[in-house]
Amino acid sequence: MIGRSVCLCLVLELLVGLSSAQDSSALTTYDLVTEAATLQKRDIGRLKRQSTAGEVHAQMLLAIAYHYGFQIKQDQSMAAKWISRAAQAGEPRAQIILGRLYEGGIGVPRNSAEAALWFRRAADKGNAEGQFELGIAYEHASGVPQDKSQANALYRMAADSGFGPAKCALALNDPKYRRTGGGAKPPHVTHAPDPEYSENARNSKLTGTVYLWAGVGEDGVVHEVCVLRPLGLGLEKNAIEAVRQWRFDPGIQDGRPVPFGLGITVTFRLY
């Protein structure tokens, strides 16, 4: 189960991406952050013209620029407008992004059923990231009836296609770290150094949240960690490096320390 037991300044952020320079079948939504972060002010006018002419890739880039405020004033309603056009044109990554917008109520009314519908459209195209997002919806009964077996089947399909966060989701089922029965007390963080900003992310003023899962041993040390939702520009790598240095009072069950799996969020902000 994807847990979120430890939350540090949880901020729901649109996590999206695409890159025209690669085979689109191999891309996830997170790749677009890197591409959009390189935009210059002179690119915005071109993107607007191309988007109005119906170019789907330009519509997605423009949507991301509006969402993050890359070289343009941040405007979530405009981000939703352009990503919706790309999604309606059948681009699966845009459908995933639009689903996340409905899931978070970002630029559109919050609607978990509508979110699940868009995730399903991407998943039905064989998109691994769409399968992963639909799996989360089934696991947490978000817009669809709860069905953990269906969630795990979707995670497996996405993982078999090489989608890292789906592999991480399956790792959550490791019996070594799953605590059952009553009386289990989760670990308590005692030392949590902040992650470093990557130079590219700082220069682009990228902010947001990386979602991780960590397996904490009975010694209070993080033994395993993986990424459930990246952010881009090297920030997930920095988040992992920081969390590996965290220390905990270990989880307790039946009066003794036990290994424990935790969902952890690491939020990157610029002040």
| Per-residue model confidence as pLDDT tens digits over 250-269 | 999 989 999 999 999 999 99
What is the arithmetic mean of pLDDT over 161-189?
A: 89
Q: Is the pLDDT of residue 8 over 50?
A: no
Listed in order, the ranges of the chain carrying CATH 1.25.40.10 are: 13-163
pLDDT of residue 25: 52
Percent of the chain with pLDDT over 70: 90
Any idea which residue has 């070289």 for tokens?
A: 71
What is the arithmetic mean of pLDDT over 46-55?
A: 98
In whole angstroms, how large is the CA radius of gyration of the chain? 19
Residue type, 67: H
Q: Looking at the structure, give the CATH architecture of the domain made up of residues 13-163.
A: Alpha Horseshoe (1.25)
How distant is the alpha carbon of residue 212 from its chain centre?
Answer: 9
Q: Is the pLDDT of residue 145 over 90?
A: yes
Q: Is the pLDDT of residue 3 over 60?
A: no
Q: For residue range 177-228, what is the model confidence (pLDDT) as tens digits?
A: 988 777 889 999 999 999 999 888 998 889 999 999 999 999 999 999 999 9
Q: Is the pLDDT of residue 108 over 80?
A: yes
Judged by DSSP in three states, 171 sits in helix
What is the average pLDDT value for the chain, to the nearest integer? 89
What pTM did the predictor assign?
A: 0.84
Higher confidence at residue 190 or residue 11?
190
Question: What SS3 string covers 12-35?
Answer: CCCCCCCCCCCCHHHCCCCHHHHH
Any idea which residue has 């009964």 for tokens?
A: 141
What is the arithmetic mean of pLDDT over 97-111?
A: 97
What is the arithmetic mean of pLDDT over 86-97?
A: 97
pLDDT of residue 26: 63
The CATH fold of domain 188-268? TolA/TonB C-terminal domain (3.30.2420)
Judged by DSSP in three states, 143 sits in coil
DSSP bridge partners of 245: none
Confidence grade of residue 271 (pLDDT, cut at 50, 70, 90): confident
Listed in order, the ranges of the chain carrying CATH 3.30.2420.10 are: 188-268
DSSP 8-state secondary structure symbol assigned to residue 25: G
